[in-house]
Structure 1
Amino acid sequence: MNEIIKSLYNRKSMRVYEEKPIPEEMKEVILEAAAQAPSAGCQQLYTILDITDEKLKEALSETCDHQPFIAKAPMVLVFCADCKKWYDTYLEAGCSPRKPGMGDLMLAVTDTAIAAQNAVVAAESFGIGSCYIGDIMENCEEQRRLLQLPEYVFPAVMLVFGWPTEQQKKRTKPLRFDQKHIVHENTYRSMDGEELRQMFADRCGQKSFEEWTEAFCNRKYDSDFSREMTRSVEEYLKQFL
């Protein structure tokens, strides 16, 4: 197994960091690695916000589901799906472009996520841990105010980076589903109840399938933060409709 594949297998979310800064030259490499990601038509439909203001980091740690470790992270990046800069460019060139729509947003979100993962892989190569923060999609009105987000710009991905503590390094990586449940050949295959139960067998532990799934549903899918994320994203989407 080569070093890149080994890194991908070993990487896990790190949420506790040493009080140690990330050297500026490493940060620049991570940001440049993000920009080297493939993108649709080489448009790079994203803008990366480098959050260096400590008060802003503190505010984001609250608006992103009250997670104090965000404020303590030495590097915080918000990857925005950006449909504005190309639209503005077309207007500047005297074009008569249609307004950005849902397809443009989906393409931009894809570009953004790929760039973010490049940053994660680059950081991992230095021994710098990272954690994705999906909660950046919540609290649309407040995030827009804090980050001064204009129309057609959507905060798709937030990442925090830092030097992980020994405890974090030794923490067991959560299990992934077996490949036979993830990879379908040629066409989508709906799984029946038996296969779904088989897929989750390693995750349920001592609980029954029903007990584990109900607890997870209540904690995640039907949680207040999940409902808020759905409301917030719907609010962002209005500008693209």
Structure 2
Amino acid sequence: MGRNMIRNRFELEGSVLDETHLNGTIQVLTSHESVRGFTPEEVPPAALEAILTSARSAPTSSNLQAYSIIVVRDADRKSRISALSGHQGFIQEAPVMLVFCADIHRLKYVTQRQGYDFKADTLEMFLLSSVDAALAMQNALVAAEALGYGAVPVGSVRNHPEELALELGLPEGMFAVVGLAVGREREGVRRGVKPRLPRSVTVHEERYSAAALDEGLEAYDEQMISRRSYDGRRVSIAGEPEKEGSDYGWCEHTARRCTRPETIAASSSLRENLREVLMRRGFSLR
């Protein structure tokens, strides 16, 4: 199954891996598919601990470990998180919702505990702590899938960051970067792995090159159109004519979404004041 998924995902490139490198870890990574429907079955404590331990084993810049993970199992709290995150039902369905937070609160506490002035509330520190949180989330996702669970990252936890901070008891210096819903997948929720842009578009040797960009984009467009990937998902733009199915591929869909950023994140308008929110949350961004 793993080889078929790789073939489907990287169809434009033919065979991308030889048998000697197709081990269990590579199969889990290349077979990833977001799952947005879960059964009520609980994630046992031992399995959850394996997922969390994997998350905590992710790389971390300068060993600062500038992130925290909030484990949410309570049904009422998941319901409130769902309401703050675009009313996505799978958040309530999932037996476990993990929220990965950028955390400089702990660093500030340690600095002041040692008798020093904390001066690391910078833009760089926000990026650093957000990357730490994202790396931990990815490790958790891979671990969950390796154990046979379904999972999906949840960026919409950023829709109402201050309200979510209150719900989760986050002190100043913490910001919810991304969530991860985990559980046994409900039957029929998988739609198949999504093809990726060609290697020539996203991977560059030594220096960036756009030499193969147009050719790669055109090939990817043809692939996505042939799969009817955007049936029922087209983005309308006022004053712009609708495109025929044969003309509506990844490029057209992506360009229209970037013209209307609210279609990238359903509530992106709620994030327009993100800088101000972060500053109120204790990140000066200087």
Establish whether TM, by shorter chain, passes 0.5: yes
Which has the larger helix fraction? 1
Structure label with greater radius of gyration: 2
Residue pair 2:161, 2:175 contacting (<8 A) in 1 also: no
Q: Which residue of 1 aligns with 2:247?
A: 208
Matched, 1:221 2:261: yes
TM-score by length of 1: 0.89
Larger RCO, structure (CA 8 Å, separation 6 or more): 1
Per the alignment, in what secondary structure is the counterpart of residue 69 of structure 2?
strand
Q: Which residue of 1 aligns with 2:284?
A: 240
1:152-206 CA-partner distances (Å, limit 9, x unpaired): 211111000010123135x211111111111122233357666544443322443
Letter in 2 for 1:235: V
Residue pair 1:84, 1:153 contacting (<8 A) in 2 also: yes
Per the alignment, in what secondary structure is the counterpart of residue 48 of structure 1?
strand
Per the alignment, in what secondary structure is the counterpart of residue 40 of structure 2?
coil
Provide the rounded CA distance (Å) in 1 between the counterparts of 2:151 and 2:43: 12
Which residue of 185, 197, 213 corresponds with 2:205?
Answer: 185
1:189-230 CA-partner distances (Å, limit 9, x unpaired): 357666544443322443414754465447x72435122234
Residue pair 1:135, 1:229 contacting (<8 A) in 2 also: no
Structure 2: gaps (5+ residues): 1-21, 227-244
Identical columns (%): 29
Q: How many correspondences in the alignment?
A: 239
TM-score by length of 2: 0.76
Letter in 1 for 2:209: R
Q: Which residue of 2 aligns with 1:174?
A: 194
Q: Which residue of 2 aligns with 1:128?
A: 149
Provide the rounded CA distance (Å) in 1 between the counterparts of 2:150 and 2:276: 31
Provide the rounded CA distance (Å) in 2 between the counterparts of 1:103 and 1:34: 22
Which residue of 173, 187, 190 corresponds with 1:152?
Answer: 173
Q: Which residue of 1 aligns with 2:182?
A: 161
- The alignment yields a C-alpha RMSD, in angstroms, of 2.2
Matched, 1:61 2:82: yes
